[in-house]
Every structure is written in structure tokens, then in C-alpha cells.
Amino acid sequence: MFIGEEPIHINALKGSIAPLVLMPGDPLRAKYIAEHFLSNAKKVCDLRNMLGYTGTYKGVEVSVVGSGMGMPSIGIYSWELFHYFNVEKIIRIGTCGVVSPIVNVPELILASSAYSESNFAYTFNDYKEHITKPSSVLNDTIIDVAKTLNYKLHVGDVTTMDVFGPYIDYDRVLNRMPKELNVIGEEMEAFALFHIANYFKKEASCILTAVDSKFSDVVLSGKDREQSLNEMITLALESIIK
């Protein structure tokens, strides 16, 4: 295994990234969060235009770093954050498709587990299971904070896909999943984030905003996906500083 002394994909100086990190998929969402939610935010990385910022939220130092799309991408960035920058907690804040009638667009989902048919974890370290788990401590904090903020939060299993759900007949994939799972959303990163965090014995969670649903014609636009996810962002920030 090759592990160099410096990260290959995050061009930040050592000490410039906080132990607490929010990870949106879109680097422009990282920029939006830094500009609208953090005080004294400074850009700390921009290699490959994967933007990262560090500032303070209610006096606590927090970083927000883009992850890109898909498990390989978030796997790289979360690995480097944990290994090179001593990050302790990552909350993924992303978007998802809804696969249960109990969730409406644009309600929030907290992943209680992530199921995937991917070989990501098996390739990484021979982990053969198809389910990875978030930090129960961090999830409990998010649930408590959501109650305090009076935010509606659905807690359930998500499926992490290798293919963008709306472009395939994902009912075919859903029908193959274990029936005991309570799958309510589909996305593309949580499985890998949880696996990398568990490997490093660090904390990770995933909060998602529902942006489309097989049970509704309501769809958030690209602009809304970039800038109109403030409730999810607030929940993540309030939770990660606890």
C-alpha cells in the first residue's frame, strides 16, 4: 500500500482543516455554506476545484469540504481528511431521491444505515457485508437537535447506488434488497463514508434533503439544490458542534 506523507487530492496546509467537517457533494455548496453560515471563513483548498473552507460557527471552528459525486470520490476525500488532517467527525449533507411514500420533498432524512451492492468496501479492505453504519452517538445528537429546532426528520435506511437513480429503473434494484430494511431514500455516497469512518474509528453521519420522489411530481431545481438547503445545513452545523 502506498501512503505518502502528503495528501494527493486536498491541497490544504496541515492545521488548516478543523476536526469537525461538513461534506456536501457540490463544492459550490461548500462555498455557499462558508459565505452564509460561517464567520471569518477562509478557503483552505481548491485542487481540482474541490473547494474547502474553514471558519467558525457560534465560536467553534468548523470546516466544510466538498466530496464530489459517488463512492470513489467521497472515499478519497474522507480518507485524506481522517488520515492527514486528523478530522474527528464528518457529517455528509446531501440530496437524495425518495423511495418511500412517508417522505415528501423537501423533507430531511437521517441515514440509520446504508445498503449498497457496490464492491467499494470489499475492494478497500475485504469487508464483504452490504450494509455500513453511521456513528450512533452522532446520529443521536442529530435527532436531539432536530427536536430542539422543531425540524421534521425521517430516520431510516438509505441505499447507496453506483448509478444515478433517476436515470435507471431503480425499482429493480430496490426489489433485490433485504426485506427487513426500511429503505426510504437513495443516494450515492453514504455507504463509503460510513465505511471509511469506521475503518479509522471516527464518527460520521449523513443528513439528506429529499429533492425528488417516485411518489410526487415535485422536484427541486439545480439552483435549489445548490442554495436552498438551509434547514439541513443548520441541523448539521448545530449538531456537529455539540
DSSP bridge pairs for 186: 97, 159
For the chain, give the longest Cα–Cα distance.
Answer: 49
Contacts of 210 (CB under 8 A, 6+ apart): 95, 96, 97, 98, 103, 104, 105, 106, 107, 108, 109, 185
Question: Alpha-carbon distance 215 to 233, whole Å?
Answer: 25
Contacts of 95 (CB under 8 A, 6+ apart): 25, 187, 208, 209, 210, 211, 220, 225, 229
- Residues labelled catalytic: 212
**Using an 8 Å Cβ cutoff, are 12 and 50 in contact?**
no
